[in-house]
Amino acid sequence: MKPRTIMSEEPIKELESRVLEERNRLHDTAGALKDKIAETRATLSVVGQVKKHFITAFLGVSLLSFAVGYGLAAMLAKMRAQ
């Protein structure tokens, strides 16, 4: 006795093609997300921001160094005066 088939071949092929399309779409979406993540990491990286805004970063660090040095010199002068 031959086993009875419940589904015909056509719906199976249609389902396989839909699954393949869905898989390809998911792969494309995953690739796009990876690209966006890489782009965002490059945009938000500290090194990239310093390169982009070098003069501003340089001036900020210079002013901070000057203020710290001036404060330390004032503390040392106060200590020597006592």
Question: What residue spans of 1-82 are helical by DSSP H?
Answer: 9-44, 46-52, 54-81
**Which pTM was predicted?**
0.50
- Percentage of the chain beyond pLDDT 90 is 61
- Percentage of the chain beyond pLDDT 70 is 89
> What is the token pair recorded at 55?
């003069």
- Position with higher pLDDT, 54 vs 3: 54
Distance CA 41, CA 52 (A): 14
Distance CA 75, CA 79 (A): 6
Q: How many CB atoms lie within 10 A of CB 36?
A: 10
Q: What is the mean pLDDT of residues 50-73?
A: 93
* pLDDT of 52 above 60: yes
Per-residue pLDDT, 5: 59
The answer to whether the beta carbons of residues 50 and 57 sit under 8 Å apart is yes
Domain boundaries, the chain: 9-44, 53-82
Dihedral sign for Cα 9, 10, 14, 15, please. Answer: negative
